[in-house]
């Protein structure tokens, strides 16, 4: 099986989520990543999130990350509902 390719934006997102407090283990589980990959990206992108001049996250950056996470959750829920619908149809 070939190695998966990840965009720079995705790598920065993972590092950003780590910096915002998500555990490395949870990121590995949620995104099916290896510890080595996350460590490598953390070294490559030490500051993936845009900060304002006083060191705070910009409002747009925070909103963007929240919305991206929400979309990911909704996509998983949508897939679970599709799977459940197929399961129910097969039982009939």
pTM above 0.85, yes or no: no
Q: What are the pLDDT digits (tens) for 52-88?
A: 666 566 777 777 877 888 898 899 999 999 999 999 9
Question: Within a 13 Å sphere around the CA of 40, how many CA atoms are in the beta-carbon half?
Answer: 8
pLDDT band at 8 (very low <50, low <70, confident <90, very high): confident
Judge whether residue 39 has pLDDT over 80. yes
Q: Where are the domains of the chain?
A: 8-91
Cα atoms in the 13 Å half-sphere on the side-chain side of 48: 21
Closest by CA to 17, choosing from 52, 42, 53, is 42
Quickly count: other Cβ atoms within 10 Å of residue 54's Cβ: 5
Min mean pLDDT across 9-13, 29-33, 42-46, 75-79 is at: 9-13
């Amino acid at each position: 099986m070939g190695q998966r390719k990840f965009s720079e934006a995705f790598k920065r997102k993972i590092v950003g989520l780590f910096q915002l407090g998500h555990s490395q283990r949870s990121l590995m589980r949620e995104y099916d990543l290896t510890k080595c990959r996350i460590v490598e990206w953390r070294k490559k992108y030490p500051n993936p999130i845009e900060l304002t001049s006083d060191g705070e996250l910009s409002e747009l950056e925070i909103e963007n990350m929240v919305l991206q996470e929400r979309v990911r959750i909704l996509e998983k829920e949508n897939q679970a509902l599709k799977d459940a619908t197929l399961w129910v149809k097969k039982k009939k």
